[in-house]
Amino acid sequence: MDLSFDGRVAVITGAGGGLGRAHALELGRRGAKVVVNDMGTSLSGDGVEQDRAAIVVKEIEELGGIAVADTNSVATVAGGQAVIDTALSAFGRVDVIVNNAGILRDKTFHNTSPDDVDPVLDVHLKGAFNVTRPAWAHFREQGFGRVVVTSSSAGFFGNFGQSSYAAAKLALVGLIKVLAIEGRKYDIKANAIGPVAQTRMTEGFDNPLADHLDPALVSAVVAYLSHDSCEPSGEILSAGGGRVARVFVGVTRGYLNGDLTAEDVRDHLTEIFDDAGYVVPENSMAEMTLLAEMLGK
């Protein structure tokens, strides 16, 4: 097996089922010591239904791997710290974080209340901050770290009834873009996936491709992004059904006019939206290069 995780410690949140469980089995099978975090909640995040983390730990051990269960909620700062403390006390280090825990509160924007928005942002977006922040100093000190966040096509492209979920998921892309920049000199790499898999989260969607959407096919991508040999950072990979593809934020060359008016915008939509010669800037300053070029500076 080429990509070994011997000596590495991986924290996987929401790993008691679905995609997280598949990631935990894959990294455990490849030799990582795994923290299987899952508070065992319902799809909407209400209550605690089952100690799923312990079941997955057992599965990893049966495959000859090493794992420890953690049932803290990633939705609080204290919970995130406790997840990393579990890794440090069980295995003495932390190398990889796969932020995967998630819930759903789908409603049309018209019917969405703050009570639906906060829990979704807390688990998906703040959860990634809560768990990754306490590990960051260790990553810097050891000169190594891998962060994977679980984003979604609902965030990249939009999906009816998922305003809070989509907002949280796309915000995670902003997070990894900055982690990739700040982590570069410490060999910390941070990437996002947009998975597609058949799990309890998607079983109600009646997808005709369901039989092709084994979560393990997404875990192959997570394993690469979590490995020492991972090259990309600050990137988004769409992963599902065995297909892996880059998703990116690009900018068109656009229309330039030093005396720009609202009427000019109206009259030049074709140039503004023309994606021939688009650019994918590697950071926010890089977009300025495009403007400088067009201004002849």
- Residue 221 near residue 236, CB atoms below 8 Å: no
Exactly one of 20, 134, 145, 234 binds ligand NAD (CB under 6 A); which one?
A: 20
Which CB atom, from 26 or from 144, has the smaller least distance to ligand NAD? 26
Ranges within 91-120 binding ligand NAD (CB under 6 A): 100-103
Tell me the CA distances in angstroms from 151 to 114, 124, 250, one per residue in order: 21, 9, 18
131-190: contacts with ligand NAD (CB under 6 A): 150, 152
- Rounded to whole angstroms, what are the CA distances from 110 to 106, 107, 125, 160, 161? 11, 8, 22, 11, 9
- Minimal CB distance residue for ligand NAD: 18
Q: Is 222 in the site for ligand NAD (CB under 6 A)?
A: no
Give one DSSP letter per residue of 169-203, joined into a string. Answer: HHHHHHHHHHHHHHHGGGTEEEEEEEEE--STTTG
Answer yes or no: are the C-beta atoms of 106 and 54 closer than 8 Å.
no
- Asked whether position 80 contacts ligand NAD by CB under 6 A, the answer is no
The reply to whether 238 sits near ligand NAD by the rule CB under 6 A is: no
| Residue ranges with strand state E in 89-201 | 96-99, 145-150, 188-196
Binder among 58, 200, 243, 246 for ligand NAD (CB under 6 A): 200
Which element (helix H / strand E) includes 81?
helix 77-91
Sole binder of ligand NAD in the list 17, 80, 134, 183 (CB under 6 A): 17
The answer to whether 165 is a known catalytic residue is yes
Q: Is 11 in the site for ligand NAD (CB under 6 A)?
A: no
Residues 245-274 that bind ligand NAD (CB under 6 A): none
Q: Which amino acid is at 289?
A: T
Active centre residues (catalytic): 165
Residues lying near ligand NAD in the complex (CB under 6 A) are found at 13-14, 16-20, 37-41, 43, 45, 52, 73-75, 100-103, 123, 150, 152, 195-197, 199-202
